[in-house]
Amino acid sequence: MKLFMKYLKNAVKCTVVLGVLCTVIYPAALTLAGQALFPKQANGSMVMAVIDGEERAVGSKYVGQQFEDSRFFHGRISSVNYNCYTQEEKEDGSYGGVASGSFNYGNSNPDLKTRVEADMAAWMEAHPDVKQEDIPSDLLTASGSGLDPHISVRGARVQVGEISKASGLTEEELNAIIDNNTQKKALGIFGEEAVNVLGCNLEIANRLGILTLK
């Protein structure tokens, strides 16, 4: 019993000291250093724009956004609608708060097949000039996080025709916008080329006069 109390005392002391080190000193030091050196990133990399003369945050550089307007590029399928919602959806509870994730369908799950078939039919209807085999698979599959900010370069090019018709911008302009927002492979080796959808759409909105980019 005496030995038990001795061990217990040591264990409590150890817990308290490590607790102070790991949960007070470490996060505090990282927060201070992060906020001092990289204040923008540490606070969510918000993108600012002027809408109706008022400057406000319209999104985060690294978080995808839901797009339905045919003048904009559309991103990937999201199981959480990119945490985008209207006032009504929040009030009636169909938006349940900030989340992330995917559908978790296995390859053999019939629900996956049904979902892709339905999305593909809708997509073909909206883009009658595109051949089905030219749709790259990232456009009709769900991202892992539900917040993927990117699509593949092919996924962007294949949308240009319809966006040009709807927005009045020329295909050359749109292709240039894609190039501006394409992130190359790191050092030419790592990762994949990816187009930031929000970045593209902000430029489109800027040209259409919906907002002014800061």
- Rounded distance between C-alpha atoms, residue 147 and residue 187, angstroms: 25
- Rounded distance between C-alpha atoms, residue 200 and residue 155, angstroms: 13
Residue placing its CB nearer to other proteins in the complex, 41 or 170: 41
Min CB(177)–other proteins separation in Å: 14
- Rounded distance between C-alpha atoms, residue 62 and residue 22, angstroms: 28
Q: Which residues of 66-82 are buried (b: 16+ CB within 10 A; e: fewer)?
A: ebeeebbbbbbbbbbeb
Residue placing its CB nearer to other proteins in the complex, 7 or 179: 7
Q: Choose among 147, 138, 127: nearest CA to 194.
A: 138
Min CB(143)–other proteins separation in Å: 6
R_g (Cα) of the chain, nearest Å:
23
Residue placing its CB nearer to other proteins in the complex, 87 or 125: 87
Min CB(109)–other proteins separation in Å: 5
Min CB(126)–other proteins separation in Å: 16
Residue placing its CB nearer to other proteins in the complex, 28 or 176: 28
